[in-house]
Amino acid sequence: MALHSTDIARFSWGALRGYPARTLLMLLAMAIGVGAVVILTALGDGARRYVLDEFAGLGTNLVIIFPGRSETTGIDPSAMMGETTRDLTLDDAKALLRSARVKRIAPINVGQVEVSHGSRSREVVVLGSNDDLLGIRHWQMGQGKFLPKMDIGRAASLVVIGKTIRDELFGAERALGEWIRLGDRRFRVIGVMGSEGRSIGVDVQETVIIPVASAQQMFNTSSLFRILVEAKNREAIEPVKQMVIDVLQKRHQGEKDVTVVTQDAVLSTFDDILGALTYAVSGIAAISLAVAGILIMNVMLVAISERTAEIGLLKALGASRGQILRLILAEATLLSALGGLCGLGLGQLGCWIIRQAFPVLPAYAPTWVIVSVFALALFTGLLFSLLPARHAARLDPVLALSGR
Amino acid sequence: MIELVNIHRDFRVGDQTVHALDDVTLTIQAGEYVSIMGPSGSGKSTLLNLLGLLDRPTAGTYHLNGQDVTSLDDLQQARVRNREIGFVFQMFHLVPRLTAAENIALPLLLAGVPAEQRIPRVEKVLEELNIADRGHHKPDQLSGGQRQRVAIARATVTEPEVLLADEPTGNLDHRSGQDVVRILEGLNKRGITLIMVTHDPEMGQRARRQLHMMDGQLAIDNGSA
């Protein structure tokens, strides 16, 4: 005596349609539960991606080289001061560029100097670097061009200025092609930074950028403040870091006198924190699924006591306990599946509304969430209908049929 | 053939034990027409439920066609109910959301008969009971008499050997009641064992064999075979 699955499905569907108010109520509960999980996960994941994107603004796959060692291992007093016996030089930077895993390299020098144009002047942070800095930092140009591609050992009287500097020195006048004075040297303005160029720690709009060799001349030094190395991809970060350490140690007569930091470490920490946050939020949302499950259980119990006579009748007509169990579970599964689908629709709609309201937030629910929340909805529906189904299967047909 | 030997059925009500059936021994041959009468609480419905495997005796044995059905498990009992026993109830017990034809097909559906084989069998019983034009109606669109006909069609669609009727005319007017009884008797003439519980003496007199229950015991059995 095997019920055909099409018969089960049709019978359950009929039972659901026979009581539209109750069915709608349970669908709503399930849909809200599923929708809440989808929306909250999308929010959490969106926030995570937003922060990661912000960090990517600092540069991706970045290996940063500082002169000096961060840990004091030797007895050399200068090492204990965090200083190094040997500076980072432009030749160091050139040596690193030879690796195939390195995509770009930007040596950086920093100093402060007075900038002036006509009668206006102010103190300004000068960044000495090369053409690769723009790409490494994901900066955008406002006007003109960034530093041209040229040998990093060559000085040139070219400058790219931040927007604030441009506004303060030139006001409404045209800046491109004009000459400004940095300290006692004259530089021609070839570009203005775009307004988005703000990254953590440095306000690009308050700086001017000149070729690194010119900066070294200006500050009368041969050392560098940082070298930024961009690896070809994520997998190349660790090999590049090792390569940097090896090459510089060789060049510095076996001294490990540089500190190499990968941005990856920082990034993955944030990734972990925000990922955990997303899990937590989805976990909280999943509670609403459990609530939906309990509601389904209660409504199913009521439904069964209302349908006692029907269940008794089915028994009299030859339904075994197993068959009753399967019919009720099929009904719950059908309900959960429909409610789950409605919930996914609701969730996607919610995500869409959030994206319309906050365009910076990439609020998309990850695919694995959509799949697992649907599976969870089915599981919840099934789990919480087990009790009512068993209750129905054990109903005494005599009492059921005489229940007038 | 139905053979009940020393059947007891006790219920506990509070701290008292009620003997709904008290040592009932009864044999009913295939094809008999039996009415069970008696005041309410006399145990006649309990007896009918027991005969229909809806209830289990506290003690005693029940053989249906030579098979001891008291020792069967739930699944096997369900199978026996499905194939060998038809029920007709006072309250009709039709599923309101299903059409007459779907209600009639329910026992076949539960037996796992494929849909295409169900249709001709349902049509056949609809024809026999003169309600072929009501197949697509829902129960609430049918009169009481028509509903009971649908119920009888459902009880007989599996061609059972025993038809158990619990006050089948109790909810019908006199004419419809007469009508239903004639249908049941017609089925009996074609070989089905008809066992009918009624408190209506006029209805009960029509049966060839009448059982009177009193306090859980068979008080009168006027047609002992």
Q: What is the mean pLDDT of residues B28-50?
A: 91
The values of phi and psi at residue A108, to 5°, are: -135, 135
Q: Answer yes or no: is pLDDT of B3 > 90.
A: yes
pLDDT the model gives residue A196: 60
- Asked if B45's CB is within 8 angstroms of A402's CB, the reply is yes
Report the pLDDT value the prediction gives residue B12, as an integer from 0 to 100.
86
Residue A270 pLDDT: 78
Query: Do A178 and A189 contact (CB within 8 A), yes or no?
Result: yes
DSSP annotation of A204 reads G
CB pairs under 8 A between A and B: 79
Listed in sequence order, the residues at least 6 apart from A105 whose beta carbon sits closer than 8 Å to its beta carbon are: A93, A96, A97, A130, A132, A227, A228, A229, A230
Any CB–CB contact under 8 A between A9 and chain B? no
B107 to A4: CB separation less than 8 angstroms, yes or no: no
* Helix (H) or strand (E) segment spanning residue A203: strand A202-203
Hey, of B95, B119, B167, which one would you mutate to test binding to chain A, going by the most A CBs within 10 A of its CB? Answer: B95
**How do residues B173-215 score in pLDDT, each as one tens digit?**
999 999 999 999 999 999 999 999 998 888 889 999 999 999 9
Q: How far is A3 from chain B (nearest CA, A)?
A: 5
C-alpha–C-alpha distance, residues A369 and A279, integer Å:
10
Between CA A390 and CA B82 the distance in angstroms is 21
pLDDT, position A1: 53
Chosen for mutation from A317, A320, A321, A404 (greatest number of chain B CBs closer than 10 Å) is A317
Cβ atoms of residues B55 and B9 within 8 Å = yes
Q: Do B95 and A318 touch (CB under 8 A)?
A: no
Cβ atoms within 10 Å of A333's Cβ, excluding its own: 19
Looking at per-residue pLDDT, the higher value among A300 and B60 belongs to: B60
The pLDDT value given to residue A200: 47
- pLDDT range class, residue A294, cuts 50, 70, 90: confident
Residue A78 clears pLDDT 80, i.e. is over it: no
Whole-number Cα distances in Å, B200 to A197, B68, B195: 97, 32, 14
- Tell me: the pLDDT tens digits for A5-22? 888 888 888 888 888 888
Model confidence over B8-26: pLDDT tens digits? 999 888 889 989 999 999 9
Give the mean pLDDT of chain A.
84
Return mean pLDDT, chain B.
91
Q: What is the pLDDT of residues A141-174, one digit of tens each?
A: 888 999 999 888 888 999 999 888 888 888 888 8
Residue B141: count of CB within 10 angstroms of its CB: 12
Query: What confidence score (pLDDT) does residue A85 get?
Result: 57
Higher pLDDT, B43 or A70: B43
Return the minimum-mean-pLDDT range out of A260-269, A321-330, B176-185: A260-269
Mean of the pLDDT values across residues A55-61?
Answer: 71
A1 touches B: beta carbon within 8 Å = yes
Label residue A58 by pLDDT band (50, 70, 90).
low
pLDDT value of residue A250: 85
- The residue with greater pLDDT, B213 or A274, is B213
pLDDT above 90 coverage of chain A, percent = 19
Write down the pLDDT at residue A288: 77
Query: What burial class does residue A198 get, using C-beta atoms within 10 Å of its C-beta: 0-12 exposed, 13-18 middle, 19+ buried?
Result: middle
Confidence of residue A87 (pLDDT cuts 50, 70, 90): confident
In the prediction, which pLDDT does A72 show? 47
- Lowest mean per-residue pLDDT among A135-139, A322-326, B103-107: A135-139
pLDDT digits (tens, 9 = 90+) for A172-193: 888 899 999 998 899 999 999 8
Please check the confidence at residue B7 and state whether its pLDDT lies above 90: yes
Interchain CB distance below 8 Å, A316 and B52: yes
Distance CA A35, CA A19 (A): 24
**Min CA distance, B93 vs chain A (Å)?**
7
pLDDT for residue A83 is more than 70: no
Three-state SS letters, chain B? CEEEEEEEEEEEECCEEEEEEEEEEEEECCCCEEEEECCCCCCHHHHHHHHCCCCCCCEEEEEECCEECCCCCHHHHHHHHHHHEEEECCCCCCCCCCCHHHHHHHHHHHCCCCHHHHHHHHHHHHHHCCCHHHCCCCHHHCCHHHHHHHHHHHHHCCCCCEEEEECCCCCCCHHHHHHHHHHHHHHHHCCCEEEEECCCHHHHHCCCEEEEEECCEEEEECCCC
CB contact under 8 A, B75 and A320: yes
Q: How far apart are alpha carbons B139 and A71 in whole angstroms? A: 88
- Asked whether the predicted pLDDT for residue A73 surpasses 80, the reply is no
Q: Which of A275-284, A331-340, B16-25 has the lowest mean pLDDT?
A: A275-284
- Check residues B77 and A69 and name the one with the higher pLDDT: B77
pLDDT for position A79: 45
What number is the ipTM of this complex?
0.90
A315 at the B interface (CB within 8 A)?
yes
DSSP H or E run through A389 = helix A367-393
The pLDDT of residue A206 is above 90? no
Which of A151-160, A196-205, A232-241, A346-355 shows the lowest per-residue confidence on average (mean pLDDT)? A196-205
Local confidence band at A404 (pLDDT 50, 70, 90 cut-offs): very low
Q: Is the pLDDT of residue B64 over 60?
A: yes
pLDDT at A278: 82
Contacts of B211 by beta carbon, 8 Å cutoff, 6+ apart: B26, B34, B35, B36, B37, B218, B220, B221
Q: Is B22 exposed, middle or buried (0-12, 13-18, 19+ CB in 10 A)?
A: middle
